[in-house]
Every structure is written in structure tokens, then in C-alpha cells.
């Protein structure tokens, strides 16, 4: 059996360091996801509204974030704010700011798309049944919107988790950075360590994202059993 270099994980605290790096990546993702979902829902509702000025401003924001690579955003926030305003942001704080900007833009567009995809006859039918506007949103619109958003939101969340690998470029010691340090430290004694270490990193990312996908599948199935969703 070929030597995969996995033995280096048993040296010292390498395995614990790798898990610590994964926790840094997950912490950045978790904080960013929570804030992005909250702000994204709010902005998505505003984008689906009728105010042309608000819609135009949010559309410009969305397109700027879409066009600009996350790496450029990281450099702008981490290095640009220091030069422009003298802010001493840590790499982790800068990463969270960038991921919130990105996640909010993506989430708001998903919410907007989900809201405008609801057929108009759903509103008309609920009004014919005597439901108030609040009841219409609570029992008809929101459940259908959430069901449409679940797979798209899960895709966004997993993308954010995987994209945290970029934060090593601004000095954040996350799982890939730790992996590089372990490989460099054992390059002479275990030249095949890179393959084994990156294989473990792949498995760690898989184990982090797989439960989220399972949760999405469960929520989609359970969401289809709501009684009010079968009335229309």
C-alpha cells in the first residue's frame, strides 16, 4: 500500500491543529450565514417591492458584488480600510465583512426571485377566501417561498463554507493554512504528506457540508406536508 503521508497527523498536535483550522473556517461561515440570511431576506423583500429608487440602488449593489471576485473584496476590505481609514481589522473580521456583503447580495436575489415566482392567483384566491394580507403571507406566501429557498440557500451556505479557503490569503489560519504548515514542516521526512493531508481536508469539508444537505432534504420533504400548501 503506498504511503499517503497520513502518519504526520499523529505527530504532536497536527490533527488537533487541523480540526482547529476547520473550526475557524466554520466559525467565519456560520457568523456570515446568520447575518447574510437576515439581511438578505430584508433586502430581498425590498427588491421585490415597487419603489424604483430602492430597487435601482439594490440592483447596483448586487451587480457590483457579483462582478467582483471574493479575493478582490478580501484585499479591498483588509488592506484598503487600513490605508483609507486607518482601521486595524483582523483577518477574521475582514473575512466576515466580505462574506456578509457577498452572502447578503446573493440571498437577497434568491428571496426576490422566490417572491416574484409566486403566481398572482395565489393572492387572489386567498383574498377570495377572506384571508387578510397578513394571513395570506403567513399561511400561503411564506411557506411556498421558504420551500423554494431551501435548496438555493443550502447551495449558497455550502459555497460560503468552501470559499473560506480564500481567507488564508490575508493571513487567517484556517484549515488549508494549517494543512500547508503541516506539509511544509514534514516535507523532508514525509514527502507524500501533501496527498494525505489534502485528502483529509477534503473529507473534513465533506463532513461539514453533508449534514447541511441532509437537513435541506428533510426540510423540503417536511415542508411539502403543510396543510395550507394543499389548499391552492
26-57 pLDDT, tens digit per residue, is 999 999 999 999 999 999 988 888 889 999 99
Tell me the pLDDT band of 82, cut-offs 50, 70 and 90.
confident
Indicate whether 14 belongs to any domain.
yes
Indicate whether 1 belongs to any domain.
no
Burial, 147: exposed, middle or buried (Cβ in 10 Å; 0-12, 13-18, 19+)?
A: middle
The parent domain of residue 145 ranges over: 6-230
CATH code for position 192 = 1.10.3720.10
If one counts every other C-beta atom within 10 angstroms of the C-beta of residue 52, the result is 8
Q: What letter would DSSP give residue 186?
A: T
More confident residue, 2 or 230: 2
Question: Which residues, including other chains, have CB under 8 Å from residue 21's CB and lie 6 or more apart?
Answer: 173, 174, 175, 176, 177, 178, 179
Domains held by the chain: number:
1
Q: What is the pLDDT of residues 120-135, one digit of tens each?
A: 888 788 888 888 878 8
Q: What is the pLDDT of residues 170-187, one digit of tens each?
A: 989 899 999 999 989 888
Amino acid at each position: 500500500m503506498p504511503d499517503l503521508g497520513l502518519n504526520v497527523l499523529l505527530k504532536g498536535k497536527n490533527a488537533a491543529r487541523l480540526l482547529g483550522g476547520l473550526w475557524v473556517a466554520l466559525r467565519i461561515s456560520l457568523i456570515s450565514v446568520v447575518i447574510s440570511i437576515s439581511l438578505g431576506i430584508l433586502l430581498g423583500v425590498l427588491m421585490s417591492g415597487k419603489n424604483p429608487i430602492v430597487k435601482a440602488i439594490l440592483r447596483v449593489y448586487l451587480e457590483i458584488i457579483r462582478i467582483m471576485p471574493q479575493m478582490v473584496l478580501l484585499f479591498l476590505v483588509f488592506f484598503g480600510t487600513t490605508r483609507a481609514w486607518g482601521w486595524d481589522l483582523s483577518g477574521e473580521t475582514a473575512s466576515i465583512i466580505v462574506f456578509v456583503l457577498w452572502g447578503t447580495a446573493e440571498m437577497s436575489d434568491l428571496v426576490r426571485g422566490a417572491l416574484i415566482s409566486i403566481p398572482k392567483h395565489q393572492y387572489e384566491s386567498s383574498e377570495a377566501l377572506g384571508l387578510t394580507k397578513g394571513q395570506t403571507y403567513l399561511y400561503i406566501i411564506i411557506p411556498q417561498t421558504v420551500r423554494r429557498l431551501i435548496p438555493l440557500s443550502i447551495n449558497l451556505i455550502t459555497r460560503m463554507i468552501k470559499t473560506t479557503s480564500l481567507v488564508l490569503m490575508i493571513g487567517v489560519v484556517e484549515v488549508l493554512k494549517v494543512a500547508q504548515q503541516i506539509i511544509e514542516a514534514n516535507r523532508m521526512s514525509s514527502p507524500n504528506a501533501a496527498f494525505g493531508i489534502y485528502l483529509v481536508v477534503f473529507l473534513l469539508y465533506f463532513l461539514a457540508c453533508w449534514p447541511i444537505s441532509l437537513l435541506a432534504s428533510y426540510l423540503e420533504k417536511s415542508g411539502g406536508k403543510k396543510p395550507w400548501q394543499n389548499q391552492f
